[in-house]
A = this chain, B = another copy of it.
């Protein structure tokens, strides 16, 4: 531990009354000016005087006090899961946050931290959000949704592979990803297709629907699907590669590019030629796939543009409606390179 320059001096927290006194206006006028209330006409010199007084005193409005007065909040809560969001997902959430901010919402993220679904919903409800957008990695039950709605949330959304009863559903349909990979392999003549199933519990939410999509695509042709449990470590991959020839497979959809990289290395180390003996397809279309030899085929995922979604959230906050809505966001396409 060492010491740095001194901190600013402590003092009482300035209030809107202090700003009103310094600017020589009423507290209501301070509130109208600093909350950008356009419904009330206030002269430009007065607005300027209020803003200068606020700056001089270091006053900022109190979001919670404002929402208590207004009887509703402008807070949109994004619960976060316990593992980092995929880059695609992260970018999407960031854009959504910016879109909601343009509509004057305050977006905060809040961890679920291993709480069970209902305790988590109660913790979120304590913040009195006007809307909640819960990613699929975060548990949300119909009971939890009821708690949130009873505490004033006008709209509750889930964002993930499956809808939850009582919430609006922003669907990222992972079945498309598995279906897309398997159709790509079938078009290239493969019929005995392994599907990697990561053993990390947090990934089951994505892996199960990817497998279901793979099965559906295979049943439309004459292909066979073989689920292949795999830990994301070298030992597990080497063990799978060691028994590869007993499985009688001619292709594998490896869940994603990171698992594909792991398995392709293990197959190559075991003398199995890719793609001659076994074709490999990943998903996510990461740059690292293009750095592998053979270059990795993949499934590219794209999400809808975000501003219409921010507008949707705003519409459902202002006019909640009776029925949950469902919107599909994800589009998947196969990207052919050398490994398939």
Contact = CB atoms under 8 A, between A and B. Distances in A.
Interface of A: 1-8, 10-11, 13-14, 57-65, 67-68, 80, 82-85, 87, 90, 94, 97-98, 101, 106-111, 113-114, 122-123, 125-128, 142, 145-147, 149-152, 163, 165-167, 169, 232-234, 258, 261-262, 265, 287-288, 290-291, 320, 322-327
B111 A107 contact: yes
Contacts of A150: 8, 11, 13-14, 57-59
A261 B288 contact: yes
A150 B149 CA distance: 34
Given A5-B166, A83-B90, A94-B113, 20 more contacts: A2-B326, A4-B166, A5-B324, A6-B322, A7-B320, A8-B142, A8-B145, A13-B152, A60-B147, A64-B65, A64-B68, A94-B111, A97-B113, A98-B113, A106-B127, A107-B110, A107-B111, A108-B108, A234-B290, A262-B291
20 contacts: A1-B326, A3-B326, A4-B323, A5-B165, A7-B145, A7-B323, A8-B150, A14-B150, A60-B122, A62-B151, A63-B64, A65-B68, A68-B68, A80-B109, A84-B85, A97-B111, A107-B111, A108-B127, A265-B291, A288-B288
Contact of A126 (B8, B61, B90): B61
Contact of A151 (B13, B94, B149): B13
A242 B3 CA distance: 48
Contact of A3 (B4, B7, B122, B325): B325
A82 B90 CA distance: 9
A321 to B, nearest CB: 8
A322 to B, nearest CB: 6
A4 B60 contact: no
A204 B30 CA distance: 41
A85 to B, nearest CB: 6
A192 B165 CA distance: 63
A126 B105 CA distance: 13
A128 B149 CA distance: 25
A110 B109 contact: yes
Given A109-B109, A111-B107, A10 B320 contact: yes
Nearest to A57: B150
Most buried by B among A58, A64, A113, A234: A64
A64 B59 CA distance: 18
4 nearest A-B pairs in the assembled complex, by CB-CB distance: A64-B64, A58-B150, A109-B109, A4-B324
A62 B126 contact: yes
A65 B63 CA distance: 11
A261 B292 CA distance: 10
Nearest to A101: B113
A106 B265 CA distance: 44
Nearest to A155: B7
Nearest to A147: B58
A63 B108 CA distance: 14
Contact of A108 (B7, B90, B109): B109
